[in-house]
Structure 1
Amino acid sequence: MHTTTVDDLSAVHACAVPGSDEQLWEMSARFLGIGLARGEHAVYFDDGTIDAVLERLVDDRVPVDRPLADGQLVVVGAADTRAVLRGTVRDAAVMLAARIDRAVADGYPGFRMTGQFNSGLSRRDGVGLADFDAMLDTVLTGRPARVLCLYDRHRYPDDAVERMRSIHRIEIETPALYDDGLLRVTRLGPFRMRLAGEVDHSNRPVVARMIAATLDEALRSDDPPAALELDLSSLRFLDVAGAVGLVHAAEEFPEAHRLALSRVRPGVLRALDRCGAPFAAQLDVTAHPGVSPGFRCPGAAGRRPGRGVTHAREARIR
């Protein structure tokens, strides 16, 4: 099997095995976001996960309101998704071919599809996901389309995951610095990390060690950055001790360096504000887009961040 990344445009039909929900949302949103940026028609087959995927798209700065309104991004509801997977493989092939051909006729340069297909596991008639997967190869041949099949370990038993991996020629991988199922940390670039999920007592020490290690790396660099950035756009929860830890970490930074917490959600902003962030000289905090009023530390003493704002049809930043 060949492994590659979501950004590989040569991967027409690939699978991925997310180890956590955070990785699942990350991969789903990235796959759809690339297609939307390229002007492609994107279809997501939902089975109770669309809220999280739309939320992650917003976190990734992917405009979703217009694509949802004009039909570039289509969400197939859970009932229809299950109906497709419980119907015949032939009917599914006809439906998919028609969708791709209609997208091309409408002027889209390409078509891409992903979503939740685990309801296909419940069939008892001998038809399985492998049959639908073989159908995909047939339908995709000669058509400008891409499909990402997601087999996350929370929704698929291990034997089904390994079976589906074995019949795919390409697997998408998205490495992380840390992923415990609750918190996922990925590297965005030199001295830049992204935290997604929740920080609590179980992973708080990991975050502290990562900040300390990144600062040490910066201090040893021939071209040290002025700031170390933590993108918190997808961090939904930060406990009080975690907020205190970030403030204290920044206070330990030398004067020439700063800890920058960017695109922070309202709930996390409130925790930071109450734990002394406005008074930490080496700490910069900026709010997630759409949060009102604006919040920036230092110098924000006495100000409280606003409530969450709905950014998409069903995506809410909390």
Structure 2
Amino acid sequence: MTRAIEDLTLVDHACVIPDSDEHLWEVTAAWVSCGLEAGDRVVYFEDESADLVMRRLSEDRTCVRHAMENGQLVVVPTEATRSALAGSIESIGDILTGQIDETAAEGWPGLRLAGESGPGLMREGGLEKVVAFEQMAEQLFRGHPTARLLCRYDRRYFDDAAVEAMRSVHEIELVSPAVYDDTLLRITHSGPAAVRLAGEIDHSNRLQIRRLLLATLDSALRSHSAPTDITLDLSSLRFVDVAGAVGLVHAAEEFPSTHRLVLTGVRPRVVRVLDRCGAPFAEQLVVEATEA
């Protein structure tokens, strides 16, 4: 069974097969954020990846400082994660059970777990150990309905056969369809006439942006109820080359006077490139900068 990212409250033990790094951090941050919003304790087992999760949470405007201070969000350090995964399946189960018991003892209504278990288990014991872990986890979480686990299986570490094996031991696969994802740039719908860009814009994908803008504008012009603002959320856009910035400015200049191209969450470095490419002089272009 597949579930959309919007259905996270219905997910207990699920896997996700990310299409790209941006997809991986998008789903992971959504999982963490959903847990925090529900009042659950969230434990993330990192393997030199906590900074990337925190970056995406910041881009999503999810404040985690208070959650980390009061123990609602716990990041298990890399060394502790690797040490745990090097142990037996039984010892890993004891660690998870300890997390569940500690969460209940401290009064949190539920527990959400995520992290780098897949690659770590693959390094330590191959696919056989990963499957054994998943079978143990499935049995454990069935007995603890307030605990939830997201398992992430990156194709850099799991080939097609391994991915299918992981799907076979999960009743639920979490999916998050993209408008476009070339592993450098990921585009997802974020609302009516609105999309979110994550990653980088360069010569390899800038034409996709133009096609998307023209198609979205055309749909808006043909609809009586569509917004007059075409919005690109650039909160997770970390780089745009000069030609890409020029393309955004030129696209806005082609908008009719009834519609605007609105860029939100624009990082300072992206703002500087847009400014040099004429953004301040494009009447139908609105640039909403962010301090981050």
TM-score > 0.5, shorter chain as reference: yes
| Cα distance in structure 2, aligned partners of 1:136 and 1:105 | 21
| Cα distance in structure 2, aligned partners of 1:226 and 1:121 | 50
| Cα distance in structure 2, aligned partners of 1:8 and 1:119 | 25
The aligned runs of 1:52-71 (5 Å cut-off) are 52-71=52-71
| Cα distance in structure 1, aligned partners of 2:204 and 2:183 | 11
Q: Secondary structure of the equivalent of 1:230?
A: strand
- TM-aligned CA deviation for residue 274 of structure 1: 1.1
| Cα distance in structure 2, aligned partners of 1:244 and 1:200 | 11
| Cα distance in structure 2, aligned partners of 1:238 and 1:125 | 39
| Cα distance in structure 1, aligned partners of 2:8 and 2:137 | 19
- Given that 1:20 and 1:154 are in contact with CA atoms closer than 8 Å, whether structure 2 keeps it comes out as no
Deviation digits for residues 226-281 of structure 1 (CA, Å, limit 9, x no counterpart): 21000000000010001011011101100010000001111111111111111111
RMSD over equivalenced CA pairs, Å? 1.4
Matched, 1:51 2:89: no
- TM-aligned CA deviation for residue 87 of structure 1: 0.2
Matched, 1:169 2:168: no
1:94/1:280 CA distance change after superposition, 3 Å: same
- TM-aligned CA deviation for residue 132 of structure 1: 0.9
Alignment partner, residue 119 of structure 1: 120
Return the TM-score normalized by structure 2: 0.95
4+ aligned runs moved over 3 Å, structure 1 = 124-127
The one-letter code of the counterpart of 1:3 is T
- TM-aligned CA deviation for residue 157 of structure 1: 2.7
Matched, 1:198 2:197: no
Alignment partner, residue 4 of structure 1: 3
- TM-aligned CA deviation for residue 125 of structure 1: 8.5
Which structure 2 residue ranges, 5 or more long, are not aligned? Answer: none
| Cα distance in structure 2, aligned partners of 1:245 and 1:126 | 46
Q: Secondary structure of the equivalent of 2:178?
A: coil
The one-letter code of the counterpart of 1:104 is A
The aligned runs of 1:212-291 (5 Å cut-off) are 212-288=214-290, 291=291
| Cα distance in structure 1, aligned partners of 2:269 and 2:152 | 30
Alignment partner, residue 88 of structure 1: 88
- TM-aligned CA deviation for residue 124 of structure 1: 4.6
- TM-aligned CA deviation for residue 127 of structure 1: 5.3
- Given that 1:253 and 1:282 are in contact with CA atoms closer than 8 Å, whether structure 2 keeps it comes out as yes
1:224/1:13 CA distance change after superposition, 3 Å: closer
Q: Percent identity?
A: 49
Of 177-186 and 4-13, more deviation after overlay is shown by 4-13
Q: Secondary structure of the equivalent of 2:9?
A: coil
| Cα distance in structure 2, aligned partners of 1:163 and 1:84 | 23
- Given that 2:234 and 2:263 are in contact with CA atoms closer than 8 Å, whether structure 1 keeps it comes out as yes
1:28/1:126 CA distance change after superposition, 3 Å: closer
Alignment partner, residue 135 of structure 1: 136
The aligned runs of 1:93-108 (5 Å cut-off) are 93-108=93-108
- TM-aligned CA deviation for residue 184 of structure 1: 0.3
- TM-aligned CA deviation for residue 284 of structure 1: 0.5
- TM-aligned CA deviation for residue 223 of structure 1: 1.9
| Cα distance in structure 1, aligned partners of 2:247 and 2:127 | 54
- Given that 1:112 and 1:147 are in contact with CA atoms closer than 8 Å, whether structure 2 keeps it comes out as yes
- Given that 1:44 and 1:75 are in contact with CA atoms closer than 8 Å, whether structure 2 keeps it comes out as yes
- TM-aligned CA deviation for residue 40 of structure 1: 0.6
- Given that 2:193 and 2:226 are in contact with CA atoms closer than 8 Å, whether structure 1 keeps it comes out as no
1:287/1:155 CA distance change after superposition, 3 Å: farther
1:147/1:93 CA distance change after superposition, 3 Å: same
| Cα distance in structure 2, aligned partners of 1:96 and 1:198 | 37
Of 52-61 and 132-141, more deviation after overlay is shown by 132-141
- Given that 1:177 and 1:186 are in contact with CA atoms closer than 8 Å, whether structure 2 keeps it comes out as yes
The one-letter code of the counterpart of 1:4 is R
Q: Secondary structure of the equivalent of 2:22?
A: helix
Q: Secondary structure of the equivalent of 1:272?
A: helix
| Cα distance in structure 2, aligned partners of 1:19 and 1:126 | 20
Deviation digits for residues 132-186 of structure 1 (CA, Å, limit 9, x no counterpart): 1111122212321110100011232332222111111110000000000000000
Return the TM-score normalized by structure 1: 0.88
- TM-aligned CA deviation for residue 119 of structure 1: 1.4
- Given that 1:196 and 1:235 are in contact with CA atoms closer than 8 Å, whether structure 2 keeps it comes out as yes
Which structure has greater helix proportion?
2
- Given that 2:192 and 2:226 are in contact with CA atoms closer than 8 Å, whether structure 1 keeps it comes out as no
